[in-house]
Structure 1
Amino acid sequence: MNGETTYLTDLAEILWPCGGLLGRGADAAPGGDPGRPGPDGEEPEESGSAVRAYLPVPSAHNPRVIVPATDRYAAARGIAAFAQRHSFREKVRTALLTTAFASGIAPLLLRDRLHVGSGRTIEHALAAALDREVVVAIHVGPPRANRKPVLLLLTPAGRAVGYAKVGVNDLTSRLVRDEIRALRRLADARLPDITVPRLLHQGEWNGRPLLVQEALPVGAQTERPTRRQLLRCVLQIAALERRPEQSLADSGYRARLEQRIDALGDRPEAPRLRAALRRLPAVRLPFGAWHGDLTRWNVAGTPRRAFVWDWERLAFDAPLGFDALHYELNECVQGGVHPGVHRWLDTGARLLCDPMVTAAGMRPQAVPTVMALYLIDLAARYLQDRQDEAGGHLAAVDDWLLPALDGLGERATAEAGLPG
């Protein structure tokens, strides 16, 4: 077993306390006879043992999505719902996979199985919470510190009715609880051009926090937001709790950021972050709320409306523009971290100088300071969450973030018109 198969079996113990066993094809599962193959090469019908099989896609050694082996429609819908489809290659791959599942061929091609024994399962808890029968497809995603299962909840006919999240460790449990609080707060918020999922249920499963939210109407009819739509989202989220413009030196945000750096203890990056923060000029900044993880994976749009989800990082009283910088950084590094960060230093600054943002109070001479603050904030998050241990592509902050921060600090002082 590699780290991914170990993660898969550990995850099975959380979602299905009866446990799971990895196997190949129609290998015998715990507690029963696999029986005869079903129609179209599907898994055998479940007997009184109630053993069920799930397909890790693309494999148990690289699981990204887990779908039921006996429900081709739920499996196809799960593959389509969790696909990124931001490039031609991704779109072709998604089309091939969904066709393979819808036709019943996929179980013949994908040999790995996760066999789940009898007993009370996460599906039972979700069905009780929504008062309807549900089938689940599970997004696992790549390794990272905040990796947790996201469950797509489907009716037996294949209609999406919600998404569920379950904490699997201290960090992800905290994030699930934070998202519950965020969705409660947003339920009464006024976001004229943004749709936020409604909180449908909160509770616990297997001793861990459980969140269920509605499924937003995103899919083939939505696209990544345009620049104007992105900035409209950034400004409307910031307006959830706008603060009066104030000097960075006197702001509560700066004090809290320094406390977060102090909490890093003896991490070798902490002194450089602290020094970078203290060197920044005392420019005046507008403050407000920010989503905290506004990326192409958490927002979609139509010409008239944006749909935004994954609110677990929602925070208040941060410098205006953080969400725009975060979105742009994640876009820029898709082709490589170092060239992407170099490009972001230019494109991120241009976003903050957009007339929509300057009209909201952003002073052009403060732009390098805001960009530096964003990098310090992001570094503190990554180091606190120990993202480097999980191997995320942006997690090695000493490799790319600290060098970029050094240059931004010099720009911040020069553009603020203060002596270096």
Structure 2
Amino acid sequence: MNGETTYLTGLAEVLWPCGGLLGRGEPGTVRGGSAPDGDGRAYLPVPSAHNPRMILPAGNRYAAARAVGAFAQRHSLRERLRAAALTAAFASGLAPLLLRDRLHVGPGHTVEHELSAALDRRVVIAVHVGPPRANRKPVLLLLTPAGRTVGYAKIGVNELTSRLVRAETRALELLAESHLRDITVPRLLHEGEWNGRPLLVQDALPVGNQTDRPTRRQLLRCVVQISGLEPVRVLQLSLSPYRAALAERIAALGGRPETAPLRACLDALPDARLPFGAWHGDLTRWNIAGTPRRAFVWDWERLAFGVPVGFDALHYELNECVQDGVHPGVHRWLDTGARLLRDPLMTGAGLVPGTEATVMALYLLDLATRYLQDRQAEAGGSLAAVDDWLLPALSGLRDRAAREIGAAG
């Protein structure tokens, strides 16, 4: 067993306390897939038990095909072709004949039973696993037996992910009372516990073939509207609650070698006047989609308040820039991120010209602290090697911030 198969069997113990056992399917058969309640059943780790990214019901091709479409990323031609081929394989019933690995689940009370009772309807689940990272947790797609989407569920599997599930529950409750003019967010359908872990269920946003990545203007409109979830305040950085909280978070890292350079950079930043508001906290191409008239935004587990306006734009842009490599991407972001902050939509939200490098440095300080607190590098996150790229970028931004303030003065 490798680390991924170990993770898969551990995840099975969370979702199906009756037990999950990895095995191999017989060629040309689809046994154990669509058993009635109380009997055993089988799931397909896709693409394999050694590299699971989805766990799909072996005996319900309608639900499995819909799950592939829901979980697939379609941001490139290759991704679209892969999703189309996999969807066709499940829709035709061929996939269980081609995929040999099985996750066999024994009889007993399972998460499907719990979710069916909570929503007062029978549901079938498919599970999105995702790549290794500290905040990796199962995202369950809830479907009717006929394959119609009912919603999504999230379950905490450790201390960090449990905290994030609870935080997203609180965020969805708050967002239900807020008005975002051009943004639709999921509704909270159920809050509870499963197997001693926090559970939330939210409805599914109408995201699919008719939506795409947001345009630059749409992205910045979202950033500004999210920042306005609380009244935006313009404050001196030195007097802001944000700076004090960030300093405390850096100090809490203790004796790590990154702590001293992070604190030194924070202390060296100019005392700029900045607008502070809310941010989504993880606004990336995986958490937002749009039509020409509306944006759909999900995964609100890191919603926070009182942060410099513009963080969401910088976070989205950084994740876009590094798709083809971290080092060249970060180098490009140092230019494109500053241009985003100079956009009229952002200056209209209170960002003053000449403070772009200060905001960018604060964002990287915040991101570094998050990565180190969550131990993302140990979990294999691609951006999490703070000393490899983030600290050098911070050093350059610190010097640029001083020059910008001096030129503005």
The yes-or-no answer on 1:390 pairing with 2:383 is: no
In 1: Cα distance, 2:40 partner to 2:154 partner: 24
The yes-or-no answer on 1:72 pairing with 2:61 is: yes
Are 1:379 and 1:401, in contact at CA under 8 Å, matched by a contact in 2?
A: yes
In 2: Cα distance, 1:353 partner to 1:45 partner: 56
* Map of 2:17 onto structure 1: 17
Are 2:33 and 2:43, in contact at CA under 8 Å, matched by a contact in 1?
A: no
Q: Given residue 397 of structure 2, which amino acid in structure 1 is its aligned partner?
A: L
* Map of 2:269 onto structure 1: 280
Correspondence for 1:185 among 174, 180, 202? 174
**Structure 1: unaligned runs, 5 residues or longer:** 28-35
In 1: Cα distance, 2:75 partner to 2:227 partner: 27
Which TM-score applies when normalising by structure 2? 0.98
* Map of 1:82 onto structure 2: 71
Correspondence for 1:225 among 205, 214, 218? 214
Partner SS, residue 129 of structure 1? helix
In 1: Cα distance, 2:93 partner to 2:388 partner: 46
* Map of 2:319 onto structure 1: 330
Cα drift, residue 51 of structure 1: 1.1
Within 5 Å, give how 1:122-271 maps onto structure 2: 122-271=111-260
In 1: Cα distance, 2:380 partner to 2:45 partner: 21
In 2: Cα distance, 1:334 partner to 1:89 partner: 14
Are 1:42 and 1:107, in contact at CA under 8 Å, matched by a contact in 2?
A: no
In 1: Cα distance, 2:37 partner to 2:220 partner: 55
Cα drift, residue 364 of structure 1: 1.5
Cα drift, residue 418 of structure 1: 7.6
**Structure 2: unaligned runs, 5 residues or longer:** none
Correspondence for 1:58 among 35, 44, 47? 47
Within 5 Å, give how 1:267-346 maps onto structure 2: 267-346=256-335
* Map of 1:361 onto structure 2: 350
Q: Given residue 163 of structure 2, which amino acid in structure 1 is its aligned partner?
A: R
* Map of 1:413 onto structure 2: 402
Q: Given residue 13 of structure 1, which amino acid in structure 2 is its aligned partner?
A: E
The yes-or-no answer on 1:4 pairing with 2:4 is: yes
In 1: Cα distance, 2:8 partner to 2:144 partner: 25
Partner SS, residue 349 of structure 1? helix
Are 1:281 and 1:418, in contact at CA under 8 Å, matched by a contact in 2?
A: no
Quick one: percent identity of the two aligned structures?
Answer: 74
In 2: Cα distance, 1:399 partner to 1:74 partner: 42
After superposition, the C-alpha distances for 1:187-233 in whole angstroms (9 at most, x for unaligned) are: 01010000010000000000000000000000111000000000000
- Note closer, same or farther for the CA distance 1:150–1:216 as it changes in structure 2 (3 Å cut): same
In 2: Cα distance, 1:47 partner to 1:308 partner: 36
Are 1:53 and 1:114, in contact at CA under 8 Å, matched by a contact in 2?
A: yes
Cα drift, residue 26 of structure 1: 3.7
Cα drift, residue 388 of structure 1: 0.7
Q: Given residue 105 of structure 2, which amino acid in structure 1 is its aligned partner?
A: V
- Note closer, same or farther for the CA distance 1:253–1:263 as it changes in structure 2 (3 Å cut): same
- Note closer, same or farther for the CA distance 1:406–1:44 as it changes in structure 2 (3 Å cut): closer
In 2: Cα distance, 1:298 partner to 1:48 partner: 34
Correspondence for 1:91 among 66, 80, 83? 80
Cα drift, residue 360 of structure 1: 1.1
Alignment RMSD (CA, Å):
1.5
Correspondence for 1:371 among 349, 352, 360? 360
In 2: Cα distance, 1:96 partner to 1:243 partner: 47
- Note closer, same or farther for the CA distance 1:341–1:44 as it changes in structure 2 (3 Å cut): closer
Are 2:33 and 2:42, in contact at CA under 8 Å, matched by a contact in 1?
A: no
In 1: Cα distance, 2:59 partner to 2:147 partner: 13
Are 2:33 and 2:41, in contact at CA under 8 Å, matched by a contact in 1?
A: no
Partner SS, residue 340 of structure 1? helix
Are 1:66 and 1:138, in contact at CA under 8 Å, matched by a contact in 2?
A: yes
In 1: Cα distance, 2:123 partner to 2:33 partner: 20
